[in-house]
């Protein structure tokens, strides 16, 4: 029996509708939330992500602007740009599109972002708030994962959850969110011994390693919920046939575009898992939806003193 598909697009649409209602309330109070995106150079994948984010803002009424420093921008110049955005009252959120070029001190630039405008949730103050269960801005992809679980009515409390990947962007904050929701959490990584056996314990398995099809049936407990954060491009015919031979829908996409996207999870896992997120159409749409949520949250937190009604629950 095939797993239930957890439709990220549908859940993201629900969240955007809720955000739109909040924006209408903010606009009635004289507030228009603003998001500034910083895109360095001309990284094709990053440019696509930024266009998606800007389009999402436009659709729901968030003011957005994109800043495009040249590829050879220095850390000093980028810090100066971020400081300028920090000072602008009409900007509620600042997003630095990663990766940044090698000459840039990424930690220095991220630390420069005002924590109150850190809609990515990467600043140590926001990380600390998440770890200690205080109000703050939570990284978008982990927040989206939690929304998928909750809105799909998948139990978290008391469940054994396992996160494969320990990045500061996805793995660690996802583990903290699951722990804050009373799951028993294990974090695995490249040094974990007998990874498949450890993964098979999980009622909820989240994978964010960036290796196409790495998680096969032997990694998955029958009936488990599998959240696939991986986003890997398959461009070689031999690799495509390895995963998708006979899949007519995928075949059409591959022939049309010359490539297709897949996650870290092998397609055969759908025959073992109880529920699974697809790639594309799973976690990805939630990441952008939660960016909208964070922008609204930042606007309300920042402007509560100016507009008292925003502080009301």
Helix (H) or strand (E) holding 262: strand 260-262
Q: Which domain range does residue 224 map to?
A: 140-286
Mark whether 68 and 191 lie in a shared domain: no
Choose, from 97, 118, 159, 203, the residue flagged as catalytic: 97
The DSSP letter of residue 118 is: B
Average pLDDT across the chain, whole number: 93
At 46 the pLDDT is: 83
Mark whether 108 and 211 lie in a shared domain: no
Active site residue 233: no
Active site residue 249: no
Q: Is 305 within a domain? A: no
Active site residue 105: no
pLDDT at 308 over 60: no
Band (275; pLDDT cuts 50, 70, 90): very high
Give the domain CATH number at 33: 3.40.50.10860
Choose, from 53, 117, 221, 297, the residue flagged as catalytic: 53
Choose, from 92, 118, 120, 228, the residue flagged as catalytic: 120
CA–CA separation, 285 and 301 (whole Å) = 25
For the chain, report the end-to-end CA distance as a whole number of angstroms: 44
Q: Is 251 within a domain? A: yes
Q: Is 134 within a domain? A: no
CA–CA separation, 122 and 92 (whole Å) = 16
Among 43-57, 68-82, 150-164, where is mean pLDDT lowest?
43-57
Per-residue pLDDT tens for 107-155?
A: 999 999 999 999 999 999 999 999 999 999 999 999 999 999 999 999 9
CB-count exposure of residue 312 (10 Å: 0-12, 13-18, 19+): exposed
> Which among 96, 114, 132 is the end of a domain?
114
**Cβ count near 48 (within 10 Å):** 10
How many structural domains does the chain have?
2
Band (97; pLDDT cuts 50, 70, 90): very high
Per-residue pLDDT tens for 207-262?
A: 999 999 999 999 999 999 999 999 999 999 999 999 999 898 888 888 998 899 99
Mark whether 276 and 153 lie in a shared domain: yes
Per-residue CA distances from 92 to 27, 70, 89, 121, 292 (Å)? 14, 24, 7, 13, 11
Band (1; pLDDT cuts 50, 70, 90): low
| 59: nearest Cα among 312, 307, 270, 291 | 291
């Amino acid at each position: 029996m095939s797993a239930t598909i957890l439709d990220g697009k549908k859940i993201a649409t629900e969240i955007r509708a809720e955000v739109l209602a909040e924006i209408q309330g903010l606009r009635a109070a004289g507030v228009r939330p603003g998001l500034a995106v910083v895109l360095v150079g001309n990284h094709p994948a990053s440019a696509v992500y930024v266009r998606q984010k800007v389009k999402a803002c436009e659709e729901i009424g968030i003011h957005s602007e994109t800043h495009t420093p040249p590829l050879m921008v220095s850390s000093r110049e980028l810090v100066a740009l971020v400081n300028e955005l920090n000072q602008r009252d009409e900007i509620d959120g600042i997003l630095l599109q990663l990766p940044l070029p090698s000459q840039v001190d990424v930690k220095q630039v991220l630390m420069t972002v005002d924590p109150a405008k850190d809609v990515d949730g990467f600043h140590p103050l926001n990380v600390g708030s998440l770890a200690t269960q205080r109000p703050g801005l939570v990284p978008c992809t982990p927040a989206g994962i939690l929304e998928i679980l909750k809105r799909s009515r998948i139990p978290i409390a008391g469940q054994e959850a396992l996160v494969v990947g320990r990045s500061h962007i996805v793995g660690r904050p996802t583990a903290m969110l699951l722990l804050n929701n009373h799951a028993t959490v294990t974090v695995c990584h490249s040094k974990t011994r007998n990874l498949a056996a450890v993964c098979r314990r999980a009622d909820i398995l989240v994978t964010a390693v960036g290796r196409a099809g790495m998680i096969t049936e032997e990694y998955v407990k029958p009936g488990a919920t599998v959240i696939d954060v991986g986003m890997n491009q398959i461009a070689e015919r031999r690799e495509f046939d390895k995963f998708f031979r006979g899949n007519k829908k995928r075949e059409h996409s591959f022939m049309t575009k010359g490539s297709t996207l897949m996650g870290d999870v092998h397609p055969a896992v759908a025959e073992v898992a109880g529920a699974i997120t697809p790639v594309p159409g799973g976690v990805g749409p939630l990441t952008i939806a939660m960016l909208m949520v964070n922008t609204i949250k930042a606007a309300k937190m920042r402007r509560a003193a100016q507009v008292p009604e925003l502080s009301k629950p």
